[in-house]
Amino acid sequence: MNVCKAKEIAYENLREVKYKERETGYLFYHGERVANLAIKLTEKLGGLSSKHKDRLYLAAIFHDVAKGREPHNFTGAVLTKKLLKNVVSKNELEEIAKLIYYHNKRENRSLSLPAKVLQDADIIDHTGTLDVWLGMHYVVSEDLSPKRCINFFLGGKWNQMVEQQRQKLNYNISKNIYNRRVLYAERFFKKMAWEMGGNL
């Protein structure tokens, strides 16, 4: 399996993609972060063989390759098979495609460790400093006031979304990491509200 070549293919296919209000290339960098998170989570949970780590890593890199072409889990699995057919073996590709397909299908609790880890890493990546980044990016791209951003994060809607996402996590370690990241974002927006109120 040529992981470097596969990653280059992901970069070539995602670097210019603009998805909603996120910056161009977001989907590639999100996939890269999710891949690194997934590998670190598996190490905390007992680890995987190097061949299974490589498969998980590539599934994470490609998991949103079809974002916006729904159902993106199915479309992404099919597209990844086409993109990587000359880079990985058929068996490797089947496992990678299966992980991509299940990355957002959380109703099936009998999934493998790599599938559950990919799900958790995907949720965790959107939290913490990325909450701040995505919130600010959205406000700027939509020409909204900072107050609108603060109201979203501190007005109750964000807390509901946070709780919904927390319930989807598969492992306690994932919940602990998620909770720390949520706390950071919450503190940031409380501090922002305090400063925007003209406080010293």
- Burial of residue 116 (CB within 10 Å: 0-12, 13-18, 19+) is buried
Residues of the chain where predicted confidence (pLDDT) is lower than 70: none
Long-range pairs, 99-103, Cβ under 8 A, ≥24? 99/55, 99/56, 99/59, 99/60, 99/63, 100/59, 100/62, 100/63, 100/65, 100/73, 100/76, 101/73, 101/74, 101/76, 101/77, 102/73, 103/59, 103/63, 103/73
The model's pLDDT over 13-26, given as tens digits with 9 standing for 90+, comes to: 888 887 777 778 88
Decide if 113 is inside a domain: no
Which pLDDT belongs to residue 44?
94
Which pLDDT belongs to residue 114?
96
Element (H, E) at 121: helix 113-125
Which pLDDT belongs to residue 121?
98
Decide if 117 is inside a domain: no
Look up residue 39 and give its two tokens.
């590998």
Which pLDDT belongs to residue 107?
80
**What's the structural domain count of the chain?**
2
Decide if 139 is inside a domain: yes
Using CA atoms, how far residue 9 sits from 12, 48, 90, 156, in Å, is: 5, 24, 17, 40
Which pLDDT belongs to residue 136?
86
Q: Which domain holds residue 171?
A: 129-196
Pair 79, 15 in one domain: yes
Pair 70, 157 in one domain: no
Decide if 116 is inside a domain: no
Which pLDDT belongs to residue 175?
98
What is the residue-averaged pLDDT of the chain? 92
Which CATH number characterizes residue 22's domain? 1.10.472
